[in-house]
């Protein structure tokens, strides 16, 4: 049975909205802030925006015996809850799944590791200067 392969490369792509562009820029800035925050506290960054299959892990960091997969979330306002709340169960599952895939491809990354954690770094812009909060072991993969 043959599939008709549709070439939709010339399909009109919606132009980036102003709000969309702003959100992407906010996200990038927040990731930068989170990375600096972690490095200042002795974390060695093993990777940023690591693509695993279709998804992306924001930050992979190591400090001593602890390996952390860090999800970064930023919020300008609390109208939709705090940035920590914005990491939905679906997102948690995705991060956990991507981490398993990433670890599966690099078993050596667990050398000397005692704890593996899923952390959240929340960048909260409701205050000035922005507050950065680090939630260690924010969720697990079960």
Partner 1 sequence: MLASVPSEALTGLEGHAVDVEADVVAAAPSFSIVGLPGAAVQESRERVRAAIVNSSYEFPSRRITVNLAPADLRKEGPSFDLPVALALLQATGQVRRRGAGTDEPRGRCADDERRRGRIAAVGELGLDGSVRSVTGALAIAEGLRRHGATGLVLPAANASEAALVAGLDVYPVRDLREAAAVLAADGDGAGRAAAPDVADLLSAPPPDDTDWSDIAGQSQVKRALEVAVAGAHNVLLSGPPGAGKTMFARRLPGVMPPLTLDEAIAVTRVHSVAGLLPAGAALVTRRALRAPHHTISSVGLVGGGATPRPGEVSLAHLGVLFLDEFPEFGMSALEGLRQPLEDGDVTISRALTSVCFPARIMLVAAMNPCPCGYLGDRERACACPAFRVRQYRSRLSGPLLDRIDLRIEVPRLAPDERRRLDLDETSAVVRARVTAARERQLARLRGTGAYANAHMTVRHLRRLCRLEPDAVSLLDRAYERLRISARACDRVVKVAQTIADLEGAASITVAHVGESLSYRFHGDDLPLG
Minimum distance of partner 1 from residue 130's CB (angstroms):
27
Segment (H or E) for 90: helix 89-105
Give the nearer residue to partner 1 in terms of CB position, either 33 or 57. 57
Beta bridge partners of 118: 69, 139
Give the nearer residue to partner 1 in terms of CB position, either 43 or 69. 69
Other C-beta atoms closer than 10 Å to the C-beta of 34 total 27
d(C-alpha 67, C-alpha 112), whole Å = 10
Q: Of the candidates 27, 72, 69, 74, which has an alpha carbon nearest to the alpha carbon of residue 45?
A: 69
Minimum distance of partner 1 from residue 51's CB (angstroms):
18
Minimum distance of partner 1 from residue 80's CB (angstroms):
27
Binding site for partner 1 (CB under 8 A): 66, 69, 96, 99-100, 103, 110, 113-118, 136-137, 140-142
Give the nearer residue to partner 1 in terms of CB position, either 49 or 140. 140
Other C-beta atoms closer than 10 Å to the C-beta of 31 total 20
Minimum distance of partner 1 from residue 96's CB (angstroms):
6
Q: Read off φ and ψ for residue 106, nearest 5 degrees.
A: -135, 70
Give the nearer residue to partner 1 in terms of CB position, either 23 or 140. 140
């Amino acid at each position: 049975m043959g599939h008709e392969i549709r070439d939709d490369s010339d399909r009109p792509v919606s132009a980036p909205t102003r709000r969309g562009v702003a959100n992407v820029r906010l996200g990038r800035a927040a990731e930068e802030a989170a990375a600096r925050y972690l490095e200042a506290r002795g974390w060695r960054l093993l990777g940023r925006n690591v693509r695993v299959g279709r998804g992306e892990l924001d930050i992979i960091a190591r400090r001593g015996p602890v390996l952390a997969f860090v999800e970064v979330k930023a919020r300008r306002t609390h109208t939709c809850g705090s940035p920590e709340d914005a990491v939905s169960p679906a997102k948690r599952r995705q991060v956990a799944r991507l981490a398993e895939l990433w670890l599966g491809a690099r078993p050596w990354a667990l050398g000397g590791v005692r704890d593996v954690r899923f952390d959240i770094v929340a960048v909260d812009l409701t205050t000035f200067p922005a507050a950065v909060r680090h939630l260690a072991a924010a969720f697990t993969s079960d």
